[in-house]
Amino acid sequence: MGQFALYKFLLTIFLLFSISKSLPTGNERSTYIIHMDKSAMPAPFSTHHDWYTSTLSSLSSPDGISPVHLYSYKHVMDGFSAVLSQTHLNQLEKLPGHVSTFPESYGHLHTTHTPQFLGLNAYSGLWPAGKFGDDIIIGVLDSGIWPESESFNDRNMPPVPQRWQGMCETGTEFNTSHCNKKLIGARKFSQGMKQYRLNISNTNDCDSPRDFLGHGTHTSSTAAGSRVQNANYFGYAEGTATGMAPSARLAMYKVGFYSKDIRVIDVVATDVLAGMDQAIEDGVDIMSLSLGFKETPFFKNPIAIGAFAALKKGIFVTCSAGNSGPHGYTMFNGAPWLTTVGAGTVDRELGARVTLGDGDITVTGISMYPENLFISRIPLYFGHGNRRKELCDWNSLDSKDVAGKFVFCDYDNESSVFRSEDIYGTDIAGAIFSSDDGEFQKPAEFYLPFVTVNTKDGDLIKTYILNTTNATVSVRGFAPIRDHDYLLTDYALVSGTSMSCPHTAGVAALLKATHRDWSSAAIRSAMMTTADVTDNANGRIIDMTTAVAGTPLDFGAGHLNPNKAMDPGLVYDIEEGVAECGRYSLHL
């Protein structure tokens, strides 16, 4: 196969927003986030929480249904969230101390090799200089955590830092004993989700810090997982799994839940704000959020609001850019005080070797089939003469023609996609796809022995088939499963900006441990000013949409380079400009 221009994780700071607001009519109830002026709190009240709850109880309810208080916020903003009718809202907005109100919004949740890929070395550079993240606390807002994972073992870790103020909540299938010197805190925030009448599933999730999806467990272990030897996904990606900052501590703030009503994992603004507020209160040094909301003005965006408060407390916040790219104007989390992270590919492929005939042609393709992929001299089918069959279009193949055979699916210049779903139920032995989208494939798509080859190798295979009588194929996978093995694994192959974000969180922890006096802005500056704009083929980072050299509008600051970031030379700080950032957000 040819040389690929493979690239790392991208640090991106863009400005992008749209304005949207919808309010209910009549006495329909909705959830709101209310910003208050704390200086207006009457003297009799000892806490702002008491003032907020008293204010809610003072609102008249003609229909007899009182307001419902959800959260009081101490750090991310001065205010609270509550379920209100339009009548309640009209009264509240006229009271002294009210600043603004905006409605609930809904968002979505957007490694054995990557430490080496990023240049981290146990004996030199940022890893030993930062003591592998020792004494740094990373707060992760996600779908929860699976505490039994070996990635969260606390062997040989020192006591929990005395400055830590957090706790480990008890709940369904989760108790305080699940926390240790690695996982030092775990909480859940679900009141906003439940007020939206979304019932949290009791089979695919639970209303506790426990993770059923695996998303939060994966992001947490990527940021600060302990070393685990012989980790693999059915033999793929075998090696020692370790987080970017393996000596750092973890705290999970579960804000994503699986709803049995809409059958999807979602997050709501009130819960995310509450999670960020608690993380600040608990004393985290780093926040990692692999989730996002529709872009709105920054003063209405829950992540932008929470991150701005964290900035003032010296907490570094990193977020995923979303997975809507690689086209322009598709990123999330665009506030300039955030470290927003895109994703690319790494210099390792997971695949299989395809041999035609008696070794006439051998090519390497992409495959993540989780069983023994060792197929010898199976008849090879190609629907030559019928373009729909050549492309393996939906319902185009006849089971009588393809049963027990390997099918070759050609490339379509106008729309090349991985078409595994198009040949479901045809009793084939497997398939070879000629495709240009190998970077976007996911393990779940390989439910049969599928191999994807690049279009150049696909043309070689097609030519061979057309010029060979009774063409056969042999496929040898790189991840054989032994007869006594079961299709169970503690690990997963996951891609996207959700997974690049915690890499940045871990590197930030290493930099914070190395330079204790650096602000979060200084850490972000060091990462961005030392980022690489060339890939490992020594060329400009490639724009995936055009396959030509990209620009900063495509790749932001560039490839994250942890060791260079340790000694950037010039650092741009923002300590004198925090107030300017606040005024900037209000003028957009």
Q: State the CATH number of the domain containing residue 87.
A: 3.30.70.80
Task: Point out the domain boundary residue: 72, 105, 138.
Answer: 105
Residues 247 and 358 in one domain: no
What crossing angle do the helices spanning 302-312 and 578-587 adopt, rounded to 10°? 160
**So what's the pLDDT on residue 478?**
45
CA distance 340 to 332: 8
**486 assigned to some structural domain:** no
Q: Count the Cβ atoms, other than its own, within 10 Å of residue 122.
A: 12
Residues 292 and 201 in one domain: yes
Q: In angstroms, what CA-CA distances link 89 with 86, 116, 489?
A: 5, 54, 51
Residues 322 and 446 in one domain: no
Residues 392 and 251 in one domain: no
**235 assigned to some structural domain:** yes
**555 assigned to some structural domain:** no
**So what's the pLDDT on residue 47?**
95
Residues 240 and 319 in one domain: yes
Q: Identify the active-site residue in 215, 218, 515, 559.
A: 215
Is the pLDDT at 157 greater than 70? The verdict is yes
Q: In angstroms, what CA-CA distances link 88 with 28, 62, 94?
A: 11, 10, 10
More confident residue, 288 or 575: 288
3-state helix, strand, coil in the chain (%, to 5): 25, 25, 50
Q: Which of 7-16, 187-196, 274-283, 490-499 is most confident?
A: 274-283
Q: In angstroms, what CA-CA distances link 464 with 1, 408, 428?
A: 17, 11, 20
Strand partners, 239: 231
**301 assigned to some structural domain:** yes
Is the pLDDT at 229 greater than 70? The verdict is no
Residues 185 and 309 in one domain: yes
**440 assigned to some structural domain:** yes
CB 82 within 8 A of CB 34: yes
Residues 328 and 407 in one domain: no
Residues 216 and 179 in one domain: yes
**So what's the pLDDT on residue 374?**
64
CA distance 325 to 341: 12
Q: Is 498 a catalytic residue?
A: yes
CATH code for the domain in which residue 473 is found: 3.50.30.30
Averaged pLDDT for residues 234-261: 79
CA distance 567 to 526: 8
Task: Return the residue matching tokens 């809904």.
Answer: 106
Residues 326 and 212 in one domain: yes
**227 assigned to some structural domain:** yes
Residues 254 and 323 in one domain: yes
Q: Identify the active-site residue in 78, 142, 205, 410.
A: 142
Is the pLDDT at 109 greater than 80? The verdict is no
Count of domains for the chain: 3
* Two structure tokens written together for 533: 């704009």
CATH code for the domain in which residue 233 is found: 3.40.50.200
Q: pLDDT by residue (tens digit) across 458-515?
A: 999 999 999 998 888 887 654 443 333 333 345 554 555 677 889 999 999 999 999 9
For 300, the domain range is 107-347+492-521+562-567
Q: pLDDT by residue (tens digit) across 110-147?
A: 544 567 767 787 878 898 899 899 999 999 999 999 99
**So what's the pLDDT on residue 464?**
92
Residues 441 and 404 in one domain: yes
CA angle 169, 173, 176 (to 5 degrees): 35
CA distance 365 to 283: 47
CA angle 232, 436, 373 (to 5 degrees): 35
**240 assigned to some structural domain:** yes
Q: Identify the active-site residue in 81, 149, 190, 498.
A: 498
Residues 372 and 327 in one domain: no
The full DSSP string for 48-70 is HHHHHHHHHHHS--TTS---EEE
B/e letters for 544-570, b = 16+ CB within 10 Å, e = fewer, are beeeebbeeebbbbbbbbbbbbbebee
CB 180 within 8 A of CB 156: no
The helix (run of H) or strand (run of E) holding residue 558 is: strand 558-559
Task: Point out the domain boundary residue: 442, 477, 512.
Answer: 477
pTM for this prediction = 0.75
**515 assigned to some structural domain:** yes
Q: Is 215 a catalytic residue?
A: yes
Task: Point out the domain boundary residue: 105, 132, 163.
Answer: 105
**So what's the pLDDT on residue 444?**
55
